[in-house]
Amino acid sequence: MGKHFLFIFLSVLIISACATTPVSNRSALILIPESQEVSLGKQSYNQILKKEKESEDAHLNQIVRRVGQRIIAVSDMPKLEWEIKLIESDQKNAFALPGGKIAIYTGILSVAKNEAGLATVMSHEIAHVIARHGAQRMTQQILLQGAMLGAGLSMKNSTQRNLVLSALGVGVLYGLTLPFSRSHESEADQIGLIYMAKAGYDPNEAIKFWQRFSEVKGDKGPPEWASTHPADETRMQGLRGYLSRAKYDYQNVKLKHGLGQVFHLPQKNKTPEKPKAIPGVSVETLNP
């Protein structure tokens, strides 16, 4: 009787915890309360920002805020407490944390080239937040450990903090964790492409951005089976499959920005910083 009751309880819990992701309409299991997810995201974000230097370039900050606000306005969570920081660094990085906490590294602007390229990156990161990928990964970590710790997760507990950062960061397990993460990346590409189109940016630029990113990265990345991110060609192939819907949305937007403003970035003659992992839901980075 006890086992039967437990089975019914868990079945009801799982069914009630299933959520439908906007745009992709994919069902997802989330056992983490949204309030707790947001709190953990804020704590992680503040920890990261203490170690990073924010850009003082007023013009670039204005562009980043403008592009971000346009995408957020057409997203499915426009009233979330969004926060976007531009980090001064040669790293070609961007990351997102639950609760709407986004960071863009100045190094990735040279690959973005223009506002539409930047919109590709930002809409992808915003999509991770909208889809609650952080909460999904924390749920997965909890289930893998066989413990229903969701209600008691805390950044103050060292063991639980490692679980949270592992869930929000880059996966380390082959077979289950990594493919799970790649599915999130593909979903964020799909959602992000629609968002950038609805925000008035030419969705064709998304594929061109990833082509440029692939050229800069060269063969430095790990094989796809050992990576949290899809191979560049796999990613571009997926984007091409979503492009027709994005073009339809783009054509129906009254105010089109096209490629937007082209960036004129200052030339730097110093040795680029070595890329490092950032504990965010998504990390777009060149591997050393």
Least Cα distance to 155 among 36, 278, 29, 276 occurs for 36
Burial classification of residue 129, based on how many CB atoms lie within 10 Å of its CB (0-12 exposed, 13-18 middle, 19 or more buried): buried
Helix or strand holding residue 214 (H, E): helix 204-217
How many whole angstroms separate alpha carbon 267 and alpha carbon 161?
Answer: 39
CA 245 and chain centroid, separation: 21
Residue 243 backbone class (left: φ over 0; alpha: ψ -120 to 50; beta: rest): alpha
**Side-chain-side CA neighbours of residue 212 (13 Å):** 17
Q: Please work out, in degrees rounded to the nearest 5, the angle formed at the alpha carbon of residue 149 by the alpha carbons of 51 and 167.
A: 40
What is the C-alpha separation between 220 and 183, in angstroms, rounded? 22
Instruction: List, in sequence order, every residue forming a beta bridge with 86; answer none if it has no partner.
Output: 104
Q: Within 10 A of 54 (CB to CB), how many other CB atoms are there? A: 12
Report which secondary-structure segment, H or E, holds 207.
helix 204-217
Is residue 215 annotated as a catalytic residue, yes or no?
no
Tokens standing for residue 201:
């940016």
Q: How far apart are CA 274 and CA 288, in angstroms?
A: 7
Q: Which two tokens stand for residue 125?
A: 């990161």
Tell me which of 34, 56, 83, 125 is the catalytic residue. 125
| Catalytic residue IDs | 125
